[in-house]
């Protein structure tokens, strides 16, 4: 259990009370790396805030920050959340697009989350667990489920499992992000936008170039909630041009 928590934290800094509680009392018997992670986790103001706000993952604050600034999640908008587990980005998207709103007089959005892993149910979101976002079968399923078969926004906080070899992880990340262009071709509305996490490195230009071919505006952003010591960045790509 401990091992799997350590494995998971690389993808998402979990905020579950159970994990933090069992972690807090003693560091004995933990490797130095595990101890460092725990200490950082316990001191991290975003981890604390995430627990207070009931977000499933600390990463929530990155999307909040991006959306506060760029206002992409408006009521009525349809969103595909790629790599959605454990579901914090979807929590935010559901609220901001008004995906639980039932009144026909009000704009009511949609949120569909996809992940290779299981995702616990969330009111207002539709999840496709155990599915690979790079697979054409998943694309077809999304086309079937989205209102009118199309999305206004694609969000991706996806990441490959880190191998620890920075260059290799960077390359895998960039190839993974590039597959989002196929997804956009199939489900993104003209004028739609995409937010995509990546780990910066020598091939980032390839991703930027790929995005710039089909979006009018592409810019790299680094939210404050993204740790300064990490190579993590996001591309915000706006105004999708259908090919």
Ligand X SMILES: *[C@@H]1O[C@H](CO)[C@@H](O)[C@H](O)[C@H]1NC(C)=O
Q: Does 41 bind ligand SAM (CB under 6 A)?
A: no
Between 31 and 161, whose beta carbon lies closer to ligand X?
Answer: 161
Between 27 and 51, whose beta carbon lies closer to ligand SAM?
Answer: 51
Query: Which residue in the shown chain puts its C-beta closest to ligand SAM?
Result: 83
Q: H/E/C letters for each residue in 133-145?
A: CCCHHHHHHHHHH
Interaction partner, residue 101 (ligand SAM, ligand X, none; CB < 5-8 Å by kind): ligand X
Interaction partner, residue 157 (ligand SAM, ligand X, none; CB < 5-8 Å by kind): ligand SAM
**Both tokens of residue 50?**
């995430």
Q: Does 36 bind ligand X (CB under 6 A)?
A: no
The separation between the first and the last C-alpha atoms of the chain, rounded to the nearest angstrom, is 47
Three-class SS state of 177: helix
Minimum distance from residue 224 beta carbon to ligand X (Å): 26
Cα 67 from Cα 158, distance rounded (Å): 18
Cα 61 from Cα 49, distance rounded (Å): 9
Q: Does 129 bind ligand X (CB under 6 A)?
A: no
Cα 207 from Cα 57, distance rounded (Å): 26
Q: Which range in 16-24, 132-140, 141-149, 230-238 contacts ligand SAM by CB under 6 A? A: 132-140
- Which of 126, 134, 141, 160 binds ligand X (CB under 6 A)? It is 160
- Which of 38, 94, 108, 158 binds ligand SAM (CB under 6 A)? It is 158
Partners of 197 in the β-ladder: 234
Note the helical H segments in 17-84: 17-23, 32-43, 45-52, 60-70
> Active-site positions?
197
- Which of 41, 59, 204, 226 binds ligand SAM (CB under 6 A)? It is 59
Cα 237 from Cα 211, distance rounded (Å): 7
Q: Does 78 bind ligand X (CB under 6 A)?
A: no
- Which of 116, 150, 162, 178 binds ligand SAM (CB under 6 A)? It is 116
**Closest alpha carbon to 241 in 211, 209, 217, 215:** 215
- Cis ω before 70 (30° cut-off from 0): no
Give the interface with ligand X as residue ranges (CB under 6 A).
75, 98, 101-103, 106-107, 116, 160-161
């Amino acid at each position: 259990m401990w091992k799997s928590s350590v494995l998971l934290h690389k993808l998402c800094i979990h905020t579950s009370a159970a994990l933090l509680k069992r972690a807090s009392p003693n560091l004995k018997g933990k490797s130095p790396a595990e101890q460092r992670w725990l200490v950082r986790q316990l001191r991290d103001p975003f981890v604390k805030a995430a627990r207070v706000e009931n977000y499933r993952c600390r990463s929530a604050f990155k999307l909040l920050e991006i959306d506060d600034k760029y206002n992409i999640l408006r009521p009525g908008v349809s969103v595909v959340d790629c790599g959605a587990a454990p579901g914090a980005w979807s929590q935010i998207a559901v609220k901001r697009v008004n995906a639980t709103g039932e009144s026909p007089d009000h704009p009511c959005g949609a949120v569909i989350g996809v992940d290779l892993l299981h995702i616990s149910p969330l009111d207002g979101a539709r999840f496709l667990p155990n599915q690979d976002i790079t697979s054409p079968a998943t694309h077809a399923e999304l086309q079937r489920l989205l209102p009118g078969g199309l999305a206004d926004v694609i969000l991706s906080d996806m990441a490959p499992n880190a191998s620890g070899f920075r260059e290799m992880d960077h390359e895998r990340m960039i190839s993974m992000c590039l597959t989002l262009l196929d997804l956009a071709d199939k489900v993104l509305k003209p004028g739609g936008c995409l937010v995509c996490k990546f780990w910066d490195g020598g091939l980032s230009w390839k991703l930027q170039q790929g995005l710039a071919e089909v979006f009018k505006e592409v810019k790299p952003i680094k939210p404050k909630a993204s740790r300064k010591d990490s190579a993590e960045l996001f591309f915000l790509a706006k105004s999708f041009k259908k090919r």
